[in-house]
Chains A and B, each alone.
Chain A
Amino acid sequence: MAKTKVDLSWQELEIGAVVTNAGNASEYRTGDWRSLRPVWDRDRCVKCGICYIFCPDAAINETEEGWFDADLYYCKGCGICANECPTQSIKMIEEEE
């Protein structure tokens, strides 16, 4: 997506400092924050969607087949999904870097 310009001159600022690009903060990679990452065991997962619902960062996406994966661009590694999964299908593992 086109990156939002941050070093705007005063003339480039929108009137009243209004931000017109709704939701453009989704450019920000909060995934850089994490030290743990969730992984799903699809042998246990029952596709209930609870992990999706409880993610404060909307960082869990449903695949076409109905499985769930973390969106690593945003995932902060808080571990709520792993803690809430009713079938214990999610493990938090160390980030490899």
Chain B
Amino acid sequence: MESTNVYAYKLITRKEYFSPGHRACQGCAEALAVRLVAKAMGRDTIVASATGCMEIISSPMPFTNWRVPWIHVAFENAAAVASGVEAGIKVLMRKGRIPKKRINFLAMAGDGGTSDIGVQALSGALERGHDFTYICYDNEAYMNTGIQRSSSTPFGAATTTSPAGRVVPGQITWKKNMPEIAAAHNIPYVATACPSYPVDLIEKVKKAAGIKGPAYVHILSVCPTGWRLPPHQAIKAGRFAVETGIFPLYEVEKGRYRFTVKIGNLRPVGDYLKMQGRFSHLDEKLIDTIQKRVDKEYGKLKKKIEQGD
């Protein structure tokens, strides 16, 4: 449990801008993340979504789970569509054609739609400085099309296009560090979040929506179906991802790094990996390789935080 008063949950709005009745799998922590983000952003939000799990399960014509305006165009252009919506609304308000009010612009995509096919549009939108929030829901593979690997799939994970075979043990490249790529654009706010820490997530999304200019939030979304773990453990798995240092929760505000959830001694990565069928083929040697890498990356992050850089 995060270090806040457990009753803080009662302060979160009861409004559901992402309605029940969506077609996500049982125990989908990504759907939970979307639900929490919708609560954080509130009624005055326009969402531009990429193709992906969340788009498919929430918009089968003629139905929709969205109680805020929502548009889907294609797979790689959530950031570009959001840029257009933001610019269009900005001009309409400037020319007095619609009343001036604060509207949040949200671009949302999965890890495939962000770190692979969507990287160009994201980079362009961040560079142009649109006043919007980009949220990457990272379930670490192209889950919607059947669990194929992406550049966000962690080292050693088995996916349908990086299967654990006799010669190659699953994914052999390391997860692309999207938050760092976003931070390298010198945008005012970057954060990592996980729905296992709901108050932290909501606070970060609220902050991201509130700042002027582009903000990037990277949300680890546990996928019981694709990661091969029982649905009821989805929240626990996210917690272990944070406690092992594999997915540290931090934010970068105007270039200054800080942890938002401080972990004392890191939990051994084995606790996290052994929960999931996608890592079940890993031997102790590979787990050790992962542990060493996690320690190294975590150390680098800690340095950045200590430097106040």
Contacts and interface: CB of A to CB of B under 8 A. Distances in A.
Chains A, B in direct contact (C-beta < 8 Å)? yes
Interface of A: 4-6, 8, 13, 17, 19, 21-30, 33-34, 48-50, 52-59, 62, 71, 73-74, 76-80, 82-84, 86, 92
Contacts of A79: 27, 230-232
- What's the dominant secondary structure at chain A's contact region? loop
Interface stretch (B5-13, B91-99, B211-219): B5-13
Closest 10 CB pairs of A and B: A79-B232, A78-B27, A78-B26, A25-B63, A56-B32, A78-B231, A23-B19, A26-B21, A74-B20, A28-B21
Nearest to B14: A62
Contacts of B68: 22
Given A25-B63, A56-B234, 15 more contacts: A8-B62, A19-B62, A24-B63, A25-B64, A26-B65, A30-B21, A48-B10, A50-B6, A56-B24, A56-B29, A56-B31, A57-B31, A80-B231, A82-B232, A84-B235
A56 B27 contact: yes
Nearest to A76: B26
B198 interface: yes
Contacts of B235: 54, 80, 83-84
Nearest to A74: B20
A25 B9 CA distance: 26
B267 interface: no
Given A54-B235, A86-B6, A25 B60 contact: yes
Nearest to B67: A23
Given A53-B9, A56-B31, A86 B1 contact: yes
Given A56-B27, A58-B18, A83 B65 contact: no
A93 to B, nearest CB: 13
B16 interface: yes
Nearest to A52: B9
